[in-house]
Structure 1
Amino acid sequence: MGVKSKLFDKIVIFWNENFKFRLGIFLLVTIFFAFKFLEKFELSIDMAIIFVVYMFSMTFHEIAHGYVAYRFGDDTAKNMGRITLNPLKHIDLFGMIVPFIIFLCGFKFLIGWAKPVPVNFCKLTPRKKGIFCVCIAGVMVNFILAAVSLIVLRIIRNGLGIDNNIVKILIYIYLINLLLGIFNLIPITPLDGGRIVYFFSSGKIKKVYDFIEKYGVVIIIMIAYFVNEYFSDKILIMFDFFLKLTGTNLGL
């Protein structure tokens, strides 16, 4: 048992310390799924809209973290140029590859992540309130963007067909931001929900989170797979309910 444990620890250390190895594995998996599902792949205006909306939704999410941290006294993100609308400053390679893989796998939902905005929580004043506000800021911005898109849809919907590109953009802004907001509330680090639980928990719970954080991405993907398999239809019905208030629907 001890030998197996040591071998496992060595594998984990090797994985965490070798970026190029991880990148190679992700690329190989991506290429595998790309070839496997290539015949189903069709470039469309909808895919282009989804990609752009997704990228900028993640950008606004990260800007919110950095800006709120700045308002509470931490200028780390500002000094590193991370409070910017330039998505290239926020893109994480793995966070962009994973959505591509799961899209090819037939998932009904996109999951992914941007490069976390650096925050020095020790500089936040008042500290507890600052930590909570910084952690929740990205989620709140996603929910606000989703709500604004619904309001605009309600205003302009009359006379515009579902195939109108403006309507499509607003629908995708709503869907992607609502999903990002809910997804980031999952209490698993490195997601925002996990950060909130971590910072306001006792030492024992923090130790559990310290252990599982290195496997956080794997756990998140497993949760996404489970939700996609067993709850995706119910979630889409819920999303469609709010969309119907604007006179639009997902055609479920």
Structure 2
Amino acid sequence: MKIVKNYYDRFKVLNPQYSEIKLGIIAAIIIYFIARIFFVVEISRDMIISLLVFVISMTLHEVAHGYVAYKFGDDTAKREGRITLNPLKHIDLTGIILPVLILLSGFKFLVGWAKPVPVNFYNLRPHRLGLFCVAVAGIVVNFILAGISLVFLKLGSKYLDMDNIFMTVMIYVYVINLLLGLFNLIPITPLDGGRIVYSFSGNKIREFYNKIERYGILIIFVIVYLSGSRLTQGFLVIVDFFLKLVGIDISLIF
């Protein structure tokens, strides 16, 4: 581990601009070629589309947090240049390598994260309303994108086949944004669901959330691992429900 840390420190010195992104690209390339050695891995059109949709969706999610925080009086994200649609400003090294690994494994659902937008919650006015609005902003954007994609899927289904590239993009916009929105509703900080509960809570619950936040990601992974198949089934039920509203059979997609 010390060797890896020393290499990472040297790499950051030699590559001060977007060092994490450059290292992530190198790691993804290495992972790809290792996968090619042990498995038959082909980069498909769907893999590229899903990764691009994921990055764009996560970017819009984070921009929403920063923009709403700015409107409620905190300019931290604006000062650090994070209220921008440039995805390079939001990519997290681990959070982008994970979906690449998932794609290489052949799994259809992407899980990952962007670099959280910095927010000084003490600057938000009014405080509780600001906390809630900042927390829910990213989820709202994801659900709006999922809703818009459903409208286009409904309109497109009258004239286009489901394997048309436009329909494929819309399917991934729908599935990925619905998944991001639902995943972020898990009431564990640092996820948005935890922040929403925090905004409504009294001191005792806030103290509890403050204590567990450092272990939040670990707790979330344990929850997902222990109930993975049930979560997947539940998610597919929700995906199917909204697809049926626009007259599309889920079997045409999965």
Question: What TM-score comes out, normalization by structure 1 length?
Answer: 0.80
Code of the aligned partner of 1:52? L
What pairs up with 1:187-206 in 2 under 5 angstroms?
Answer: 187-206=187-206
Corresponding position of 2:124: 124
Q: Relative to 1, partners in 2 of residues 1:221 and 1:161: Cα closer, same or farther, differing over 3 Å?
A: same
1:142 shift after superposition: 0.4
Q: Relative to 1, partners in 2 of residues 1:42 and 1:244: Cα closer, same or farther, differing over 3 Å?
A: farther
What pairs up with 1:136-175 in 2 under 5 angstroms?
Answer: 136-175=136-175
- Contact 2:61 2:137 survives alignment (8 Å): yes
Q: Relative to 1, partners in 2 of residues 1:35 and 1:71: Cα closer, same or farther, differing over 3 Å?
A: same
Partner-residue secondary structure (3-state), 1:62:
helix
Structure 1 unpaired stretches of 5+: 1-16
Q: CA-atom RMSD, angstroms?
A: 3.0
1:36 shift after superposition: 9.8
Question: What TM-score comes out, normalization by structure 2 length?
Answer: 0.80
Q: Relative to 1, partners in 2 of residues 1:159 and 1:238: Cα closer, same or farther, differing over 3 Å?
A: same
Matched, 1:95 2:95: yes
Matched, 1:74 2:101: no
Corresponding position of 2:15: none
- How far apart are the structure 1 equivalents of 2:213 and 2:105? 25
Q: Relative to 1, partners in 2 of residues 1:38 and 1:190: Cα closer, same or farther, differing over 3 Å?
A: farther
Higher mean alpha-carbon deviation, 63-72 vs 222-231, is at 222-231
Q: Relative to 1, partners in 2 of residues 1:103 and 1:220: Cα closer, same or farther, differing over 3 Å?
A: farther
Code of the aligned partner of 1:249? D
Code of the aligned partner of 2:180? L
Partner-residue secondary structure (3-state), 1:73:
coil
- Contact 1:154 1:247 survives alignment (8 Å): yes
1:124 shift after superposition: 1.6
Corresponding position of 1:133: 133
- How far apart are the structure 1 equivalents of 2:195 and 2:100? 26
Corresponding position of 2:12: none
1:102 shift after superposition: 4.2
Q: Relative to 1, partners in 2 of residues 1:220 and 1:31: Cα closer, same or farther, differing over 3 Å?
A: farther
- How far apart are the structure 1 equivalents of 2:40 and 2:228? 19
Aligned length: 233
1:99 shift after superposition: 2.5
1:174 shift after superposition: 0.5
Code of the aligned partner of 1:195? R
1:189 shift after superposition: 1.0
Q: Relative to 1, partners in 2 of residues 1:213 and 1:108: Cα closer, same or farther, differing over 3 Å?
A: farther
Matched, 1:86 2:91: no
Corresponding position of 1:220: 220
Higher mean alpha-carbon deviation, 54-63 vs 199-208, is at 199-208
- How far apart are the structure 2 equivalents of 1:247 and 1:189? 37
Code of the aligned partner of 2:89? K
What is the aligned-residue identity percentage?
A: 55
Corresponding position of 2:14: none
- Contact 1:64 1:137 survives alignment (8 Å): yes
